[in-house]
Every structure is written in C-alpha cells, then in structure tokens.
Amino acid sequence: MKSLPQPNKLFTVLLIGLLSLQFVTIKEAKAQIKQYTKEDAIKKIKELLENAPFKMSSNNQLEKMAKNANYNFGSLVYITELSTKIGYHTELFISIGEIASKAIHEIQFLDQIAELIGMKTTETSGLIDLAKQAENAKTEIELQKVKEEISKLKSKAEFKTIDEAIKNAQERLK
C-alpha cells in the first residue's frame, strides 16, 4: 500500500486543526450567554428597569418581549441591562430584543452585537441586519462570518469595551 504524499498529510492535519479551533471558538461564544429561565429573566428585567439610572418607558417593552419569548432569555436580560445603563440607542436595543424574543432558537453572538450598540455612537444601522444574520446562521462558516463582522465593528467602535461605554454613560449622569 502506498502512503500519502507528505503535503496531503500536512493539509489534513492543518484542516482538522482549523475546524477544531472553530468548534472551540463557537462553543466559547455559547458559554458567554448566561442561562435564565423565563421566570428568572422576567424577574431580573423588572429589577433592572426599577433600578435603572436611565429610565425610558420604551425599555418596558423588553419585559413584555421576555414574557412572549421561548429562547434567548439571558440575552434579553443583558440587552435590558445595557439599555438601562447606557441611555442611548434605546430603540436599537429594543429592535435587537425583538429579534431575540421572536427567535425559534438560541442566537449565538447576540450579546456581543448588543454590546456593539453601546460601544458605537455612530454607524449603528447595520447592527439589526447583523443580528438577523446571526439568527439565520446555521453553518460554522456562517457563524464565523458573523464573528468576523463583530470583530471588525469592534475595532472601529468609539469605545473599545462595553465597560468603557457604560462608564462614559455614568459620567454623563453626574
């Protein structure tokens, strides 16, 4: 039996390595979303709305969305938290919350997209499309494209981290 030429073995090892890396990366993204039951999410959202430094009545829609949702409870809580702490792009947070609440499955990268809402003060119109792209992503390649777009947008954001955006919002309150 003839052995495979060396370049083919190297290619196979490299391909398996890359696929394994993508799998680990995708699993890590899933682990970032905190798990909530529907009841716990609704309770936490109510608490966030009651204690919000920025009180916008439109944020109350997020509680209604959680009541009607079947998935993405952790993301709905996080979206509410960000919206109430940041105080701008409220309608955009609500639009992303609506995608989360109507989804028929968990959406990967939704929390990172929500963070981009706070990290970017301009050029946010494409974030709804990105959330829809994340919702519809079914293959590793499609998920990777969403992840790459998130990284690209983060590199151009006015705030480099969500914590920096929140801190800036809190300073505006003073």
Cα distance between residue 174 and residue 172, in whole Å = 5
Does residue 37 register a pLDDT over 90?
yes
Cα distance between residue 24 and residue 46, in whole Å = 34
List C-alpha distances in Å: 75 to 21, 32, 44, 169. Answer: 25, 10, 12, 21
Q: What is the pLDDT of residues 49-93, one digit of tens each?
A: 999 988 888 999 999 999 999 999 999 999 999 999 998 999 999
68, 103 in Cβ contact below 8 A?
A: no
Q: Against a cut of 0.85, is the pTM above it?
A: no
Instruction: Report the Cα 165 to chain-centroid distance in Å.
Output: 16
CA dihedral of residues 51, 53, 58, 63 (deg, nearest 10): -30
Please give the pLDDT value at position 132. 98
Cα distance between residue 84 and residue 150, in whole Å = 22
Mean pLDDT lowest among 21-30, 37-46, 106-115, 162-171 = 21-30
At residue 173 the predicted structure's pLDDT band, cuts being 50, 70 and 90, is confident
Q: Is the dihedral of CA 148, 110, 22, 143 positive or negative?
A: negative
Please give the pLDDT value at position 54. 81
Mean pLDDT lowest among 14-28, 72-86, 103-117 = 14-28
H/E run at residue 139: none
Cα distance between residue 21 and residue 104, in whole Å = 27
